[in-house]
Amino acid sequence: MGTPHLTPRRVAVLLALGVIALDQVTKAWVVALDKPVHLIGDFLQLRVSRNSGAAFSSFTGGGPVIAVIALVVIGMLTILIGRSHRTVEIVTMGAILGGATGNLIDRIVRGSGVFDGKVVDFIDFSFFPSFNVADSALTIGITALLLVAIFRPEP
């Protein structure tokens, strides 16, 4: 039996699973620390904050709505990953899928009701809102996908 071929779809799935795992492990770790860690003085710290809204704490308290939107996005990404024929698009959608799923897990498991959990953010630059691994994957994936769309030659 030979080595399985690493297709773009498999890379996307592995990337999504890696993002989810790294996101959840790092969140569990910083929550367990229960104190800020100063990496570069006050400039960069690991400090737990919880976000019930969207990016930059916008739409505070809108977690259930955001969770439903995330479920739709996750479903759409799964379909698009299966249909796309462009490697860069497939891989970037894997990063977005992992990020969306990582934060959705928080909304499911870090609350007392359906989808009312708060997302754990912990990477805290003194001049920027705090974020997490899932947020980073979402930002990188969306930016890369937009750049591909902008610079892709017309068919």
What's the pLDDT score for residue 58? 80
- List 23, 106, 121, 124, catalytic entry: 121
What's the pLDDT score for residue 10? 93
Strand partners, 40: 44
Q: Is 121 a catalytic residue?
A: yes
Contact between 117 and 103 (Cβ < 8 Å): no
Question: Burial code of 34-71, b = ≥16 C-beta within 10 A, e = fewer?
Answer: eeeeeeeeeeebbbbebbbbbeeeeeeeebbebbeebe
Six-digit token string for 34: 């229960």
Q: Is 135 a catalytic residue?
A: yes
- pTM to 2 decimal places: 0.91
pLDDT profile of the chain (155 residues), mean per 10: 80 97 98 94 95 80 89 96 91 96 96 90 94 96 90 73
Contact between 116 and 44 (Cβ < 8 Å): no
What's the pLDDT score for residue 62? 84
- List 23, 106, 124, 135, catalytic entry: 135
The DSSP element (H or E) to which 14 belongs, if any, is helix 8-33
What's the pLDDT score for residue 27? 98
